[in-house]
Amino acid sequence: MVYLLSQLISGRLGMSDAVIYILSSLVVIFLTLPVHEFAHGLAAVKLGDPTPRYQGRLTINPFRHIDYLGAACILLFGFGWAKPVGVNPSNFKNPKRDMAITALAGPLSNIIVALIALLLANVVRLFIAGFASLLIYLHLFLYYVAYINVSLAVFNLIPIPPLDGSRLLSALLPNKQYYALMRYERYIFWGLLALLWLGVLDIPLDLLTGKVMSFITYIAGLPFAFIK
């Protein structure tokens, strides 16, 4: 795995850390990604489009959502995706606005999951002194779950097809320019994979992920600020 190997070789991760990273990645693949896509579907249905319900996507059953290439990329690069939920913007009252809200629902669910994981990690940290060997690993596991969720949110907000950020462009760009861009969706997608493989996006994505992670960590720490 490219990401894990690079971290192991650089000394940033030990073998036990790598195992915990893999386990937390599997939690993301089989739980977080389904929640991400469910959030898209629920937002679309609430805004008037029944398409996700007809497609059977209003569920957290992972096998209705998993894209195996996207899942592999989570393990390889720390970033990935699931099968996009089908949406028909013509069913929305305000197609541009409602499409943007639907697109944002997925990354927002990742941020919420990350916040919950960090809150639980802070609870675990309160008891580490008494059960160090077990709880340190649980704390690290929860941290990785949070980090990968933030990574997914940041990655999916890149404004290029087929990521959620490209759907936000539909609210900002005139229809002519937006549909012209979407004609090249497949080529842009494979170009994105190439950039990930070559590591070109590592620095900007890591920087953005780190900034968001720091902010969420701060928020998650507020309830524990006065607990020693």
Catalytic center residues: 37
- Asked if 135 and 121 touch (Cβ cutoff 8 Å), the reply is no
Rounded CA-CA distance 199/193 in Å is: 10
Residue type, 41: G
Residue type, 49: D
Q: What are phi and psi of 55, to 5 degrees?
A: -85, 0
CA-nearest of 205, 194, 198, 119 to 156 is: 205
Rounded CA-CA distance 27/19 in Å is: 13
Residue type, 210: G
How many C-beta neighbours within 10 Å does residue 69 have?
10
Rounded CA-CA distance 37/64 in Å is: 10
**Pair of tokens at residue 102:** 């639907």
- Asked if 31 and 60 touch (Cβ cutoff 8 Å), the reply is yes
